[in-house]
Chain A
Amino acid sequence: MAKALVFIDNPGGALKKSSLELLTIARSLGESAVAFNGELNDDVAASIAAHGAAAIYRPSATDLDGYLVAPKAAYLAAAVAASGADTVLLENSADGKEIAARLGVKLNAGVITDVVGVDADGTAHKSVLAGAYTTTAKARTAVAVLTVKPNSVDVAEAPAAGAPETVTVEVPADAAATAARITARSERPATGRPELTEARVVVAGGRGVDGDFGPVEALADALGGAVGASRAATDAGWIGHDYQVGQTGKTVSPQLYISAGISGAIQQKAGMQTSKVIVAINKDAESPVFEIADFGIIGDLFKVLPQATEEIKKRKG
């Protein structure tokens, strides 16, 4: 039977939705297991069991986090060998893709990134060229390594929870020998809003907000969504770079993307074009963003957004 291994890296107190999606996909491929890194608390262990994993592999070394990517790839390669997995699933983050990249070289395995769906036979679906094409791709190798975007599948628990065995995997002694060291980390304060790449709703502001993200944030909060931004807004320093959506920012595909005061340049579109429903508010009728909007409003965002926020609050009572 096919075996899929899900890499879960430092989930903290609870598994992220993207990890639950990976576990759901893994189960659809065959027997599933987890290669875990970090502290494993009881809730996380229970959640892994509930999603049907047959085993949890853990590294013998605990200092993998002190280095960039390389030793995690070395650990994961050892976990693949220990588990006999033929598919490895990782999240589609910068770290996830790079761990996948190095794992691919170590195992001579094909790597497919930006996956949005996996068929039972291992065929991966992805969108390429900034959402202009959808393709199917397959690894031609004994092991396939896939990085999967968030919001790709509906999360489902296994029909019967498993009691996964825990297996310690020996991390190769030279795993960190040529790795770059992480010498300091500064955490950014939590916003209380959903994670941008996982959010169901994103409200994004651009140069048109002219330094004031207040109306954008208020609408995002009324909709329970995340806040995004164009590069013009992040370059101006009105909001942090980690809010940037686009080619060199985050790629999002929420149910709803509301674009306010953003012209819709190709690099911005690259990050949001696959959103289910796109709403645009822009005072320039000629803005390219209207070409991709399902609902467009030619108007002033400082009038339209607050009015919509009030109306939503009224209707939600």
Chain B
Amino acid sequence: MAMRPAAGHPQARKAASNTVEETLKIVVLVKHVPDAQFDRHLTGQGNTVDRDESILSELDEYALEAALQLSEARGGAKAGNEVIALSMGPAGAVNSVKKSLQIGASSGVHLSDDALAGSDAAATSLALAAAIRYLGPVDLVLTGMASTDGETSLVPAQLAERLGLPQITFASALELNGSTLTARRDGDGHSDTVEATLPAVVSVTDQINEPRYPNFKGILAAKKKKITTLALSDIGIDASQVGAAGSLTVVETAAARPPRTAGTIITDEGDAGIKLVDFLAAQKLL
């Protein structure tokens, strides 16, 4: 599809009755996070997460897989579909962009600026929204259900609010027919079918698919793919709007939770069930 009016524009899409399906331009948000397999630490004055030993957030692999499947259903990159991996983070975050390219994204964007350090969800969503606008009209923004470090799940909803786009979050199944998205969202005690028209912001859960691994071909192909590095000045954001300065919340204190000391461990000799009940009684838990 050649020209598209801006996202949110009332005539943003051609009629869905097109027989030839339009190509898609999808932005996938991938966050570079500390590997949960190692001990994770809060450091420094802002009590921010130490980012050594970081990886592509495993929950964002589901979003990338969903993007690739939607793109492939319309002929993939060859047919002109785009899957752009966007990560905001310090220098190392480019590794998560590279990994996304190896897995199959068509191009990458790394939003990096010293002023971004310590951004809360509000500042993060502000910067990511500006970066997405910079990329021009897109059909779909796909994200993970939560970052494995921040774990707030605030960013996708805030992006939808800032971009003025429909929000479909926690999608455990996703289908695209023409320009109509249909998703399943499992809530407490019920499961909903949710519908919206492109362009939209969609977050996906780990129930939605089985993410693929990069293969040798993908790793070679990634070397030729383009990564754009953006600074705040490129996307029209002032340093005072992000980072600790632009965040609307501040972490004042952080204390490592005393490690759980291992308690009593017994081996069952035929009466462990009784001993368990004795323990519960002693703890006044019966």
The residues of A that contact B260 with a CB separation of less than 8 Å are 273, 278, 291-292, 294
Number of A residues contacting the other chain (C-beta, 8 Å)?
91
Q: Are A303 and B273 in contact (CB under 8 A)?
A: yes
**Which of B148, B161, B268 is in CB contact (< 8 Å) with A101?**
B161
Count of A-B contacts judged by CB separation below 8 Å: 272
Say if the beta carbon of B251 comes within 8 Å of chain A.
yes
A137 touches B286 (CB 8 A): no
Q: What residues of chain B lie closer than 8 Å to A105, measured between beta carbons?
A: 122, 125, 158, 161-162
Q: Which residue of A lies closest to B253 (CB)?
A: A136
Known A68-B185, A70-B167, A179-B167; contact A112-B249, beta-carbon cutoff 8 A: yes
Chain B residues closer than 8 Å to A185, beta-carbon distance = 190-193
- A238 CB, nearest partner CB in chain B, Å: 15
Whether the Cβ atoms of A312 and B154 lie closer than 8 Å is no
Say whether chain A's binding surface is mostly helix, strand, loop, or mixed.
mixed
Could you say which of A137, A241, A273, A315 contacts B249, with CB atoms under 8 Å apart?
A137
- Highest count of chain A CB atoms <10 Å: which of B161, B182, B262: B161
Looking at B73-81, B231-239, B277-285, the stretch in contact with chain A turns out to be B277-285
Closest to B122 in A: A104
The answer to whether A128 and B262 touch across the interface, beta carbons within 8 angstroms, is no
Which of A128, A248, A300, A316 is close to B205, meaning CB atoms less than 8 Å apart? A248
Verify if B176 is at the interface (C-beta below 8 Å from A): no
Given A135-B254, A304-B276, A308-B273, A97:B187 Cβ within 8 A:
no
Whether B5 sits at the interface, judged by CB under 8 Å, is no
The answer to whether A180 and B200 have CB atoms under 8 Å apart is: yes
B20: interface (CB < 8 Å)? no
Are A277 and B283 within 8 A (Cβ)? yes
CB distance from A202 to the nearest CB of B (A): 12
Q: How far is the CA of A179 from the CA of B166 in the complex (A)?
A: 5
Note all chain B residues with C-beta closer than 8 A to A256. Answer: 280, 283, 285
Contacts of A89 in B (CB 8 A): none
Residues of chain B contacted by A98 (CB below 8 angstroms) = 153-154, 156-157, 167, 169
CB–CB A136/B251 < 8 A: yes
Nearest chain B residue, comparing its CB with the CB of A125: B253
Question: Which residues of B have CB within 8 Å of A278?
Answer: 260
Task: Assess A128 versus B151: contact at CB under 8 Å? Given A101-B158, A136-B252, A137-B249.
Answer: yes
Nearest CB on A from B198, distance (A): 11
B-facing mask of A106-123, CB < 8 A → 1, else 0? Answer: 101111111000000001
- Count of B interface residues, CB-CB < 8 Å: 87
**Residue-wise interface mask of A (256-294) relative to B, using a CB-CB cutoff of 8 A (1 in contact, 0 not):** 100000000011001001000111010001000011111
Nearest residue, chain B, Cβ from A137: B251
Indicate if A43 sits at the interface (CB-CB under 8 A).
no
A138 touches B249 (CB 8 A): yes
Which of the 9-residue segments B21-29, B35-43, B103-111, B216-224 touches chain A? Answer: B35-43
CB distance from B58 to the nearest CB of A (A): 9
Does B264 contact A111, Cβ atoms closer than 8 Å? no
In the complex, A129 Cα to B34 Cα: how many Å?
A: 10
Residues of B contacting A183 with CB < 8 Å? 182, 193-195
A263 vs chain B, min Cβ distance (A): 14
Contacts A104-B248, A134-B254, A137-B251 hold; do A293 and B273 have CB atoms under 8 A apart?
no
CB-CB under 8 A from B207, the residues of chain A are 241, 248
Task: Indicate which residue in A69, A95, A190, A312 contacts B286 across the interface (CB closer than 8 Å).
Answer: A312
Q: Does B1 contact A (CB under 8 A)?
A: no
A-B pairs with the 3 shortest C-beta distances?
A: A307-B273, A299-B268, A110-B248
Q: A140-B247, A183-B195, A279-B280 are in contact. List 19 more A-B contacts (CB 8 A).
A: A102-B161, A110-B248, A132-B257, A137-B251, A137-B252, A139-B248, A180-B167, A180-B194, A181-B194, A182-B192, A183-B194, A241-B186, A242-B186, A247-B59, A290-B265, A295-B264, A298-B265, A299-B267, A309-B273
